[in-house]
């Protein structure tokens, strides 16, 4: 199974109010194992970078001035992600910017059916805990010591490791192939649901009434009891 873990950096919070994507980083996973393939690009947003956003990711106007427009790299991006599921943290945010940029340059939106949101996974698995990427890295022992500022490719690399842990850890790479797993599951289901026939040995009914000898011995025993209650 092929999946793409991705992250974006932007000029702000909402593309509908003029904010734009300035960076995207994508990591390829196959059977939840990183293949080493990635896609990474910076984009010229054709607008100034707000101070608050630059303070988060460090991408200023001077750095982005000579970077390509999103439309110049869009086909390369689409060729990389293909039709794979897309994994992101707080995925509604990243999908919102990705789809805005795609539509702006004449491409259809990416269906949210392909969305895998690690924030939702983390909330289900660890209710009441902190669910930021930093907090999840700490929980799962993912080294983020080199993360000074946010960066799309770096954050995607960290998220890929967190995602594997959220899905059960690295041992999942040792699973059977999909077809073998399906067959094994079918066999288990059949064993659990098939009717069980139990063969029992016939035994004749046993007598439950006392014999004459047993009744006589019982009467003798009663005579040995001093001051029995049934005589009072």
**pLDDT for res 183:** 36
Confirm whether 150 is a catalytic residue.
yes
Residue 16 CA from chain centroid, whole number: 29
**pLDDT for res 206:** 63
Domains and CATH numbers, the chain: 2-177 (3.30.420.10)
Per-residue pLDDT of the chain (232 residues; tens, 9 = 90+): 999 999 999 999 999 999 999 999 999 999 999 999 999 999 999 999 999 999 999 999 999 999 999 999 999 999 999 999 999 999 999 999 999 999 999 999 999 999 999 999 999 999 999 999 999 999 999 998 887 678 999 999 999 999 999 998 864 444 434 443 343 344 334 434 444 444 556 666 666 677 788 888 888 888 888 877 766 6
Residue 90 CA from chain centroid, whole number: 13
- Measured in degrees and rounded to the nearest 5, phi and psi for residue 125 equal -80, -30
155 is in an annotated binding site: yes
**pLDDT for res 9:** 97
For the purposes of burial, counting CB atoms within 10 Å of the CB of 16, is it exposed (0-12), middle (13-18) or buried (19 or more)? exposed
What would the two tokens of residue 196 be? Answer: 């069980």
The catalytic position among 107, 150, 208, 218 is: 150
Count CB neighbours of 229 within 10 A: 6
7 is in an annotated binding site: yes
Residue 101 CA from chain centroid, whole number: 27
How far is it, in rounded angstroms, from Cα 10 to Cα 22?
5
**pLDDT for res 209:** 73
Would you say the pTM of this structure is higher than 0.85? no
**pLDDT for res 24:** 98
Cβ proximity of 11 and 93 under 8 Å? no
């Amino acid at each position: 199974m092929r999946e793409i873990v991705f992250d974006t950096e932007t000029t702000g919070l909402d593309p509908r109010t003029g904010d734009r994507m300035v960076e995207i980083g994508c990591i390829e996973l196959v059977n939840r194992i990183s293949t080493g393939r990635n896609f990474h690009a910076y984009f010229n947003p054709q607008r100034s970078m707000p101070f608050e956003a630059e303070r988060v990711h460090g991408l200023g106007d001077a750095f982005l001035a000579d970077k390509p427009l999103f439309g110049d790299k869009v086909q390369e991006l689409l060729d990389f992600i293909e039709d794979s599921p897309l994994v992101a943290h707080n995925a509604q945010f990243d999908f919102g910017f990705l789809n805005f940029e795609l539509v702006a340059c004449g491409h259809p939106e990416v269906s949210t059916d392909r969305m895998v949101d690690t924030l939702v996974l983390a909330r289900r698995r660890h209710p009441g805990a902190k669910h930021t990427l930093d907090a999840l890295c700490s929980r799962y022992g993912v080294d983020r010591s080199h993360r000074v500022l946010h960066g799309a490719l770096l954050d995607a690399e960290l998220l890929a490791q967190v995602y594997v842990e959220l899905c059960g850890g690295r041992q999942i790479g040792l699973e059977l192939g999909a077809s073998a797993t399906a067959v094994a599951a079918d066999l288990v289901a059949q064993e659990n649901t098939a009717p069980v026939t139990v063969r029992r040995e016939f035994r004749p009914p046993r007598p439950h009434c006392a014999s004459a000898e047993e009744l006589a011995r019982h009467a003798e025993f009663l005579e040995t009891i001093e001051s029995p209650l049934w005589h009072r």
